[in-house]
Amino acid sequence: MRRLSRRQWMGVGGLGAAAMATGAQAAEPKPAETRGAETPPTRWSLGLNTSTPRGSLEEKIRATAKAGFDSVELWSGDLGRYEKEGKSLDDLRKLLADLGLSVPNVIGIWNSMPVDEAEKAKRYEQLKPQLAQAAKVGAKHIAAVPGPDRPDMDVRWAAKRYRELLELGRQFGITVAIEFLGPIKGIHTLGQAAAIAIEADSPDARIIPDTFHIYRGGSSFAGVRHLAGSLYALWHFNDVPKEPPREQLRDGDRILPGDGILPLPQLLRDLWASGFRGPLSVELFNQELHKKDPFEVARLCMDKMKALIVKSGVGNV
């Protein structure tokens, strides 16, 4: 029997509750002109990044589904190794579909914006197999970090390069999204990434913020209130401890959402108000979690996200 996804279970539960209700007034039919109209989602879409648990790629995917997540974020390096092991990405896509998991994003493209035109042409040819891999597993986006890194990267110039990357991605049915990293010298803030997307002058332009990188790069979480939810491909969710100081934080210092100092409940409220409903993808590189069973890690991440959502007071899970 095919395992129902978390969304399907919730749908069954909702219908069952309605069927068992007694004494309630029957709902009036919708007017003809509103039937079939799309209503805003009332729940968050949740995902898990495969950097968070350890194990084989298939083990991590199965653990993600078993814990009740809607989606899984994959890495290009893992997909390349999967193929080198003689395995089929078409089979992997079928596994994802059977488990009810979507792939909102693949990570990712580095050195995505060479300065030299000849180097750019060479780099774009190198990216085509990577984009084809992402397409094979049904990914919607692939993350691109503006680079090579340099402190004087011009936002308008980067927007031109991003527009070219969007066109390259379209050839494979993939939307390239800008991901900014807090510790780098160039594009490292929410405002810079948003400006690149805006100046790219494309309805497909998207960014991928990360709660760690928002804090590490010195951006204000309040800035989220000024951006529409349609700008985001997804959000990476994690937390940080009080120590070390912000400027010294490394990827391995990330901790489970809700266990640190970041204003995540308020962030959820602001994202909800912007119209964004997810995916919220838990991304950690925590060595202590890597020692645990993949499903235990996935279940723990789901529990933490549920607790945050309840605390925020917005959306269902």
d(CA 254, CA 263): 14
> Residues with Cβ < 8 Å from 288, sequence gap 6 or more?
none
The predicted structure's pLDDT at residue 34: 35
The predicted structure's pLDDT at residue 41: 78
Of 269, 223, 264, 222, which is closest to residue 240 (Cα–Cα)?
A: 264
% of residues, the chain, pLDDT over 70: 87
Calculate mean pLDDT across residues 285-312. Answer: 97
Facing residues of 236 across strands?
210, 281
d(CA 70, CA 49): 12
Dihedral sign (CA 270, 262, 52, 206): positive
- Across the chain, mean pLDDT equals 90
d(CA 264, CA 255): 13
Confidence band of 6 (pLDDT split at 50, 70, 90): very low
pTM for this predicted structure: 0.87
What is the domain partition of the chain in residue ranges?
Answer: 43-312
Instruction: Please give the structure tokens belonging to residue 203.
Output: 């309805």
d(CA 233, CA 175): 9
Question: What pLDDT digit, counting tens, does each position of 7-59 carry?
Answer: 443 333 333 333 333 333 333 333 333 333 455 678 999 999 999 999 999 99
The predicted structure's pLDDT at residue 5: 47
Superfamily name with CATH number, domain 43-312: Divalent-metal-dependent TIM barrel enzymes (3.20.20.150)
Of 123, 184, 174, which is closest to residue 151 (Cα–Cα)?
A: 184
d(CA 83, CA 89): 7
- Note if the bond before 108 is cis, omega within 30 degrees: yes
Full DSSP string of 8-26: HHHHHHHHHHHHH--SPPP
Question: What pLDDT digit, counting tens, does each position of 99-135 carry?
Answer: 999 999 999 999 999 999 999 999 999 999 999 999 9
Question: What pLDDT digit, counting tens, does each position of 189-233 carry?
Answer: 999 999 999 999 999 999 999 999 999 999 999 999 999 999 999
Q: Is the predicted pLDDT of residue 293 greater than 90, yes or no? A: yes
